[in-house]
Structure 1
Amino acid sequence: MSFKKILYGTAYYYEYLPYDRLDEDIKMMLAAKINVVRIGESTWSTYEPEDGKFDFSKLDKVLDAMHKAGINVIVGTPTYAIPSWLARKYPEVMVQVSGHRKAYGARQIFDISNPIFLKYADRIIRKMISHVANHPAVIGYQVDNETKHYGTSSSNVQQGFVQFMKHRFNGDLDALNQEFGLDYWSNRINAWEDFPSMDGTINGSLQAEFEQYRRDLVNQYLKWQVELVNEYKLSNQFVTHNFDFEWRGYSYGIQPDVDHFKASEPLDYAGVDIYHPSRKHLTGAEISFAGDEMRTLKNDNYLVLETQAQAFKQQVPYPGQLRQLAFSHIASGANMVEYWHWHSIHNSAETYWKGILSHDFRPNPVYNEVSQTGAELDRLSPHLVNLKSTAEVAFLVSNQSLTAMKNFPFSDKHNYNDVFRSLYDEFYKLNIHTDISDEHHINLSKYKLVVVPLLYSISDQFLEKLNEYVKNGGHVIYTFKSGFTDEHVKVRTVPQPGIISEACGIHYELFVDPDGCELVPEDKTISKESDLGLKDWMELLIPDTAQIIAKYDDPNWKDYAAITKNKFGQGSTIYIGCYPSQGVLRQLIKNYVDELGIQRTEETFPIIIKQAKNELGKQITFYFNYSSQKLTIQDIKAGTELIKDRQVSGQINIDPWGVLVVEGQ
C-alpha cells in the first residue's frame, strides 16, 4: 500500500474534554495543517456504558466534524481498557500474575486469553467497526494499543502452556524432561496432569519457553483482532497496531513481551509509539532504531501513531526539536507522524503527560512549532511520501535470547538491550544505515555485514546458516555469550562458542568478571588513548585461526585474547569476547566497515545524515544537527534544499536542532 501524502496529526479524545470545544479544536488543527487524528481506542466504557447497551453518539460527532473539515480518522478498537461493569460481573477476566489477581483501575490488566474477555471484546469490536466502517472520514484502524501479555499466568494460561508443550513434544514426557533438565532438584514431570504452575519454576529454560508461549498469545490476540476488523473494513482502509519497546522513561530497546516480527505479519502497516529523551539529552537514536525495525518488519513504510509533544516536564522540547524530530521520523521511513496527544488532560493518571495544547487550550510554543512543521510537510509531501531506502548492514535481534538472559543474566547492571544499544548507537552516530530483523525473517544475502548482539539462545540450524553466510562472503560482528545455548536454552556440550567457533576461529573454556581489568590493543584497530576499561564480562578467548585485536592487561590472563578477527571462506568475523567501552566499539566498527567498503559519511554525530529515494526517482538527503550549536556541513552534493527552496552545494551551515532536506539534481 502507498500513501498519497504524509499524514500529520494527533490522538484526539473528545470524551475527555471538560467542555465541548470540538469546533475550536478543529479550527486550530486546520491552522496547524493537521490532516489525521486517531480516536476511540481508550473509551470502551463510553461506547458501552452497560452490558449490551451501546452509544456511539460521541464517536459519530467527532467523525462527522472531522469529515466536514477534511481531516482523516484512524479508529482504534477500544479493548485495552475494559469497563468497570465487565470486571465486576466477571472478576476472572482480570489478569493474574504469580497467583495474585490484579484489582480493577489501571489499563491493560486483563487476561488477553480469557474466553469471557474475548467474548465481550468480540462484541464491542464488531459493533464499533461495523458502525464506522462506511464513514467517509475513516482511513484505517488501530487494533488494541501497545498490546503485551501483561504477565498473565492465570489458570487458562497455565493449561494452555501444558497443551502447547504436550504438542511440541508429541506427548513424550521423557523427551521434555531431558530437554529441559527437569531431573534437577526433583523437578521431573512424570504425568502431564502433574505439570506444575509456572509461577514457581526455578528452571530458566522452561521459563523462557513459557515467555515464548506468552508472546505467542499476543500474536494470536492481535491476529484475531485484525481478522475481526477485516470482516468490516473497506478495501481502501488499512489495519495497523502501535508497537512499543522496552521502557526506561522512553523507548529504549527490543520489547521483551512481544515478538514484533511475528505479531506484525497480519497488519497492513507496522505502527509504532516512539518516545525519547529531550533537550540536551536528545540524540535521535531512539527514533532511528525504532524506525529501522519498523521499516524492516513489513519491508515498507510505517506509521508513527504516538510520539511526544510536551510530555513530562523533563521532556519539554527545545525550540526546533519538534520540527527536527518530525523530519527524523520521515527520514527513517515513516509515512505518518502523530503526537500523543492533542490536549492535556485535566484529571486522572496522565494529567501531567501533556499534549500539543496545555491545560488552558491556548496556542503555545509547542503548538506554534507543530503548525510550522505541518505547513512544511503539507508543501513538501510529494517529495517525502513513500520514501524507500536500502541498507548494507543488518542487526539481528532475538526475543528468545533477551528472555533467556533475563533468567541467566551476565550482569546485575546491564541487560540484553544495553548491549544491543551500545552497538546500534555507534553505527547510528557514524551515519551507517541499518535494518533490524530476527532469525526467522532476515534475508542474510541482502547484507554485507550482520551485527549479532548476545545471540545466547538459538538453534543449531541458524548458526550453521550464519557460518555458511560468512563462508560465502558475508561478514559478522558477534558479541560475547553468542551461540551459548540452543533454542530451549540448553547449554551446548562443545567448547564455546560452539558452532560459530568455525567461522570465528576461536574457542574458550573460562569466563570471568573484569574486576578492574582493561584491554591491551594488539594492533592499530584500537587506540591506546581510548577508554580501555571493561564492564561485567570477560571470555578468555583462545585463538585457533583468528587474529588478536586486543588482549587483557591482567598478567594472570595475558595469554588470552579479548577481541579477535577471523577470515573464513570468502568472509570474515569479529568476535567481541568482553563488554568494552563505547570508544572501543566505535573504533572497531569504523575500521571494519571501512575495510568492507560499507557506505558512510565523513560527518558523524551530532550531524546525522539519512538518505532515501522518493517517488520522483530522486535521492533525498536529510541533514540533522543534534546539538545546541550552529555547525557546518562540509560537503553537500548539489541539489535543492526543499524547506527553504534554494540551491545548495559544498559547505553549508545548519542551525542548532536544525534540519536540511536536499533533493539531488
Structure 2
Amino acid sequence: MLYGISYYPEYMPYDRLEQDVRMMRDAGINYARIGDSVWAMCEPAPGRIDVDLLGPTLEELHRAGIQVVLCTPTYAIPSWLSLEHPEVMNSRADGTPWPYGDRQNADFTQPAYLFYAERIIRRIMERWADHPAVIGVQVDNETGGRAIHSEAATREFVRRLEEKFGGIENLNEAWGLNFWSHRLTDYAQLWSPGDRAQGGGNSNPGYDLEWRRYQADLVTEFLAWQAGIVREYLREDQFVTHDCVGGHGLPHSNRKAVGEVVDVPAENFPHHTQEALSHPPRGGHPPTYHDASGIHGAYQLFQRGDMARASGHRNFLVTEMNPISVGGPAHNFPAYDGQWRLAAYTCISRGANAVAYWHWHSTHHGSETYSHGVLNHDLEENRNLTEVRRIGHELQRAGDQLTDLEAEAEVAFLYSPDSRYLLGFEPCLAVPGTAQGDRCSYERIFDTFYRAFFDERAQATVTHSLEDLEKYPVVVAPSLYAAADESFDRLLNYAEQGGHLVLGIRSGYMDDLGRARWERAPGPLRPGVGAGYNLYSNLESAIPVTSVDGLPLDEGAAGEGWMDELVLEGAEALAVYDHHEFGRFPAVVTNRYGKGRVTYVGTLPNAALGRSVARWVLAEAEVRPLGADLPESVRCTRARRPDGRLLRFFTNWSSRAATVPVPVAGRSVLSEEAVAIGEEIELGPWDVAVLAEEGSR
C-alpha cells in the first residue's frame, strides 16, 4: 500500500528538505509524487536544460525509504515558450487566445509544443527514470479541462468527420442541417465549433456531440503519446499513470479511454468534510470545482471510488486527497478529527492501492495558497499531521493486507459520456430556482440514483461497458439519453435473461448521433419498460407521490425537476403523483420482461422516493444488503484480498459513537485482535474498523 503526498521543495521559502523528509518518515509516509511543475526551473531558456535539480530530492527520499512517482512537467509551460511560440497558446471558443499566467493553457496538439514537451520529457527520463526511488511516472496532470480550439485542431476535426461520415449529404442528414438553413455542400463550409456557454457559435447538438468526442480523443491520444515516450526508459517493474479528476471528471477526458493507455489509473479525490461528510447528508459547503452537481455526504467518497474503477482496472491510485482543506481562500473546511482516517480507509475499501494528500506543505504564494497541504503555512505540527501519522503507522502494520482488494458490488451503474455531453449542451433540468438550464443535468441524475442505492446500503460499481452485466443482479442506467439501438438491445437482453434493469428519465430518447428519435419514448426501450410517453414537463416545485401497490414509500417521497406523462402498456404502476393534473400519470412503473424485470422512474426522485425505489428493487432482485440492522450512520462494505479472504469495512459517518454487533468471527486488521461472533465493535465518532472474516478463503 502506497501512502504519501505530493512534494514541492521548489515552492518552499527556505531549504528544509531533510527536515521535511524526516517528518514524512516519522508519519509513515512511503510514497511521494514530485516534479509536475518544474519545466521552467529545468529549462529557464530554450535549450538550456538542467534536470539535476531533482537529484537532491530523489536522493533524500530514497535514503528515507520513500518511493517516488516522477511526473512529466508538461501541464504548465515556461513563459519563454509562450513568447517565442505564441502559437502554442490555446484559443477560447470565440477564437481569442488564452493568456499566459495560468496552467493547462497550451494547445497540446501544436507541433512547437510537442517538440519542446518531448525534449524536456526525454531529458528527465534519461537522467532519472532508472533511479532506484522511482517506481513509476505520471504523464501530464489532470488533462482535459479545456477544449483545443486552434485552426489546426479544427481542420483535423473536419478531416475525421469526413472519414466517419463520407459524403457531405451524410453529414447533412445526420445533423439535420436543413434546420436554420445550415445545409452544407462541402466540408469546407463547416462553421467553427464551440460550446455556447464559452462564447462559441455552434447551436447543433449533433455537432457538439462529435466535437466533445473528438476533444476526449485528443486528450487520450496526447496521454498515449507521452506514455509511449516514457515507456522507452522504464524498467519492467515501473508503471505509467495519469491522474484524472475524481467523480465525473473533467469535461474533455474519458476515464475509460485514459485507463486503456496507462498501466495503473490514478484519481484525485477532493471532497467535502465536516458536517458535509456525514450520513445521512447534512449541510453542504458552497459549490466548488469538484462539486458541480451538489454531491455531499458519505456517498461522495464511495461514488468516487466506484467511478475510479470505471477505467476498466480493478485497482487505482488516489494521488490527491484533502489534507487540511482544499478549495480556495473562502473555502476553508479542515476535517473533523477522524474524518481523514475515515476517508482513507473508504478509498482503500473500494480498491485504492494508494492514498496520498495534495500536498505536503501549504504554499506561501501563487493561486493555490489556500489549497492547503498537510502542513499549514507555519510548517509546524498540527492535528492533520497527527492523524496522517496515525494512518501511516497503521498502514505500516496492515498495508499488505489491504492492497489489491477487489471490491464487492451488487448494483452496476452504467455511465454514458455521450449522454453527459448532450445533456450538458441541451440540459433537461433547470438550475433550482431559475429558468437557466443546468449543464450538470446528467451529473445530478446520476448522483441521485447512486445516492438512492447507497442509502439502502447496496454495494456498487460503475461501468462504461455493456459486457458482463450478468454478474450483477441489478443494473441502473440513470439516464441513458443517447446510444445506438444495439446498446439498448443489450440492456433489454440483460433483463430478459433474468436481471433487474432500472432506468431513469430521458433514457432512450436520442440516438448515437444526437438526434431525437422519431418514435414514441422511451424509444427502443419501450417494449421492456411496458409504458410510453409523448409529453413531459419540467417541475417548478416538487410533487408528492403516493404508492399504488407493493411499493412502501418513505415519508416525503416526491418527484423533482422533471416528469414523463407515462401511459401504461403492460407495466404496473408503483407510484403516482398526488397532483390535480398529473395524478393520472404514474411516477414509477415496473414490467416483467422475460425472466427479469425493467423498472422505470419517470421523474427525478428526491431522497425519500429514491430510497423507497431502491429498497423495492433490491428486494425484488433478492439482494440482501450488508448491515441492514446497523445504525443509519454506519455502513458496511466488503472486499476480497488476493488470497481469497474477505474483509468487512465498518465506517461511522457521524459525530456520535455507534455499536456494531459482529456477524462473523474474524480478526481486526487494524488492532490485530480476534473477534468472535456476537461480540460488539465500538465505533467512535468518524471511526472505522476492518474485520478479516474467519474461514472466508
Q: Which residue of 2 aligns with 1:661?
A: 690
CA deviations on 1:495-531 (whole Å, 9 max, x unpaired) are 110100011111111111234443232124142x622
| Distance apart, 1:155 and its partner CA | 0.8
Is 1:106 aligned with 2:129?
Answer: no
Gaps of 5+ in 2: 194-199, 278-296, 432-437
CA distance in 1, matches of 2:51, 2:250: 34
Moved over 6 A (4+): none
| Distance apart, 1:327 and its partner CA | 1.1
CA distance in 2, matches of 1:532, 1:363: 48
| Distance apart, 1:97 and its partner CA | 0.9
8 Å Cα contact 1:429-1:606 kept in structure 2: no
Is 1:141 aligned with 2:133?
Answer: no
What amino acid is aligned across from residue 346 of structure 2 in structure 1?
A: S
Tell me: CA distance 1:362–1:254, structure 2 relative to 1, closer, same or farther (3 Å). Answer: closer
Q: Which residue of 2 aligns with 1:248?
A: none
CA deviations on 1:41-100 (whole Å, 9 max, x unpaired) are 111111111111111122011111111221100001100100000001111111101211
CA distance in 2, matches of 1:258, 1:615: 31
Tell me: CA distance 1:557–1:363, structure 2 relative to 1, closer, same or farther (3 Å). Answer: closer
What amino acid is aligned across from residue 623 of structure 1 in structure 2?
A: F
CA distance in 1, matches of 2:249, 2:63: 41
Is 1:553 aligned with 2:572?
Answer: no
What amino acid is aligned across from residue 309 of structure 1 in structure 2?
A: P
| Distance apart, 1:461 and its partner CA | 1.0
Please point out which of 29, 36, 45 is paired with 1:34: 29
Output aligned runs, 1:461-540, within 5 Å.
461-516=486-541, 517-527=543-553, 530-540=555-565
Q: Which residue of 2 aligns with 1:436?
A: 462
8 Å Cα contact 2:255-2:310 kept in structure 1: no
SS in 2 for 1:140: strand
TM-score by length of 2: 0.91
Is 1:68 aligned with 2:63?
Answer: yes
Q: Which residue of 2 aligns with 1:131?
A: 127
| Distance apart, 1:554 and its partner CA | 2.7
Is 1:369 aligned with 2:387?
Answer: yes
What amino acid is aligned across from residue 663 of structure 1 in structure 2?
A: A
Q: Which residue of 1 aligns with 2:224?
A: 223
| Distance apart, 1:117 and its partner CA | 1.0
Is 1:119 aligned with 2:115?
Answer: yes
8 Å Cα contact 2:558-2:609 kept in structure 1: no
CA deviations on 1:219-265 (whole Å, 9 max, x unpaired) are 111111111111111111001110104xxxxxx53543211011210
CA distance in 1, matches of 2:202, 2:148: 15
CA distance in 1, matches of 2:631, 2:269: 23
Q: Which residue of 1 aligns with 2:186?
A: 191
Q: Which residue of 1 aligns with 2:291?
A: none
Q: Which residue of 1 aligns with 2:196?
A: none
Please give the root-mean-square deviation of Cα atoms over the aligned residues, in Å: 1.5
CA deviations on 1:158-180 (whole Å, 9 max, x unpaired) are 1111011100012x111110110
Is 1:328 aligned with 2:324?
Answer: no
SS in 2 for 1:315: coil
What amino acid is aligned across from residue 129 of structure 1 in structure 2?
A: M
What amino acid is aligned across from residue 522 of structure 2 in structure 1?
A: P
What amino acid is aligned across from residue 294 of structure 1 in structure 2?
A: A
Is 1:399 aligned with 2:428?
Answer: no
What amino acid is aligned across from residue 268 of structure 1 in structure 2?
A: D
Q: Which residue of 2 aligns with 1:249?
A: none
8 Å Cα contact 1:383-1:615 kept in structure 2: no
| Distance apart, 1:402 and its partner CA | 0.6
CA distance in 1, matches of 2:588, 2:683: 39
CA distance in 1, matches of 2:605, 2:650: 30
Output aligned runs, 1:235-246, within 5 Å.
235-245=236-246
SS in 2 for 1:288: helix
CA distance in 2, matches of 1:475, 1:506: 16
8 Å Cα contact 2:559-2:609 kept in structure 1: no
8 Å Cα contact 1:430-1:604 kept in structure 2: no
What amino acid is aligned across from residue 535 of structure 1 in structure 2?
A: E
8 Å Cα contact 1:430-1:605 kept in structure 2: no
Q: Which residue of 2 aligns with 1:277?
A: 272
| Distance apart, 1:299 and its partner CA | 3.3
Please point out which of 606, 613, 623 is paired with 1:598: 623
| Distance apart, 1:605 and its partner CA | 4.2
Tell me: CA distance 1:589–1:533, structure 2 relative to 1, closer, same or farther (3 Å). Answer: closer
Q: Figure out how many residues of one structure are paired with residues of the other and give that number.
A: 651
CA distance in 2, matches of 1:613, 1:513: 44
SS in 1 for 2:565: strand
Q: Which residue of 2 aligns with 1:564?
A: 589
SS in 1 for 2:100: coil
TM-score by length of 1: 0.95
Deviates more, 1:136-145 or 1:357-366: 357-366
CA distance in 2, matches of 1:192, 1:257: 24
SS in 2 for 1:558: helix
CA distance in 2, matches of 1:595, 1:254: 33
Deviates more, 1:215-224 or 1:111-120: 111-120
CA distance in 2, matches of 1:480, 1:583: 17
Output aligned runs, 1:165-176, within 5 Å.
165-170=161-166, 172-176=167-171
Q: Which residue of 1 aligns with 2:304?
A: 290
CA distance in 2, matches of 1:138, 1:652: 40
CA distance in 1, matches of 2:257, 2:314: 16
8 Å Cα contact 1:389-1:612 kept in structure 2: yes
CA distance in 1, matches of 2:305, 2:25: 28
CA distance in 1, matches of 2:685, 2:446: 29
CA distance in 2, matches of 1:338, 1:291: 14
Q: Which residue of 1 aligns with 2:211?
A: 210
8 Å Cα contact 2:408-2:638 kept in structure 1: no
Q: Which residue of 2 aligns with 1:632?
A: 659
Tell me: CA distance 1:87–1:229, structure 2 relative to 1, closer, same or farther (3 Å). Answer: same
